Structure 1
Amino acid sequence: MLVQEIMTVPARFARPQDSAASAAEQMKSLGIGVLPVVEAEGIVGILTDRDLVLTLAGENQQLERLPVAAVMTAGAVCCRTCDSIETAAALMGDHQVRRLPVLDGDGNLAGLLSVTDIAVHASERLAGEALGEIAEYR
């Protein structure tokens, strides 16, 4: 089974210049915890609900004044639409992430793959193994 068969589409995303508040509102309204951050050249980072919370807890700033670029985690571990689910699960475990942006053949954002997608649509066993590695203390 390939990633493209079970990934979530369309992938929601933010741009580095967007306000962190608008990204947070998008995440809240969609009930999601992560947004890939995209520029013309591709994915430049990941914004998680954890990034937003830690920014608010660590600094006395309002999200309206902060661009996504100031809050996001730079870089992103990604998989491809043509990767196998096993390959994607191994990436999740190796990098201890629960979600992967999925890139098409041109390197553009095509979707998002979560451990839940793997459990529901492919293999609970494989998802459990990935979660075990994700939660492992390193």
Structure 2
Amino acid sequence: MLVREAMTGEVRWYSPDTPIQEVARVMRDEGIGCVPIGENDRLVGMITDRDITCRGVAAGERLDALTCRAVMSPGIFFCFEDQTLEQALGQMQERQVHHLPVLSPQKRMTGLISLGDIALKAESSILAPLAKIAARDAERHLQAA
């Protein structure tokens, strides 16, 4: 199965200058764990719920004064929509991430794929248990950091 068949499309970007409280509300209301951050039509970072917790709350920052730029993870890891789920899962496991932006062959962001997407779409294949193992391993890695 290809990434384009399992990804979540129509993903909303946020500016690096968007207040972090706004992004946190969207994540809560939509039940999502990360959002892409873009500037000048380019993907420049990602924000996860963990970024907000560790770089904002735990650092003692005033959340009403923080923007996405202050807590986002720069340096984007991504996959392409024509890659297989096995390839995307391998990238996630290698980089210890739960989400990857999905790019078209023209390097335009077309969606996001998560370990959960892979587990749901591939539940009848060998990938479902692998996605669950990768999620558990990534969580352990993050807790140890």
TM-score (norm 2): 0.84
Match of 1:124 in 2: 128
Structure 2 CA distance for aligned equivalents of residues 136 and 29 of structure 1: 26
Contact conserved, 1:86 with 1:126, CA < 8 A, in 2?
no
The answer to which of 36-45 and 70-79 deviates more is 36-45
Structure 2 CA distance for aligned equivalents of residues 30 and 136 of structure 1: 25
5+ long unaligned stretches in structure 2: none
Alignment of 1:68-107 (within 5 A): 68-107=68-107
Cα deviation code 1:36-94 (max 9, x no counterpart): 11122421111011111121221241x23222111111112111111111110000000
In structure 1, the residue corresponding to 2:58 is in which secondary structure? helix
In structure 2, what residue type is equivalent to 1:102?
Answer: V
Structure 1 CA distance for aligned equivalents of residues 136 and 65 of structure 2: 38
TM-score (norm 1): 0.88
Percent identity of paired positions between Structure 1 and Structure 2: 35
5+ long unaligned stretches in structure 1: none
**CA RMSD, Structure 1 to Structure 2 (Å):** 1.8
Is 2:41 aligned against 1:37?
no
Aligned pair count reads: 137
Moved over 4 A (4+): 135-138
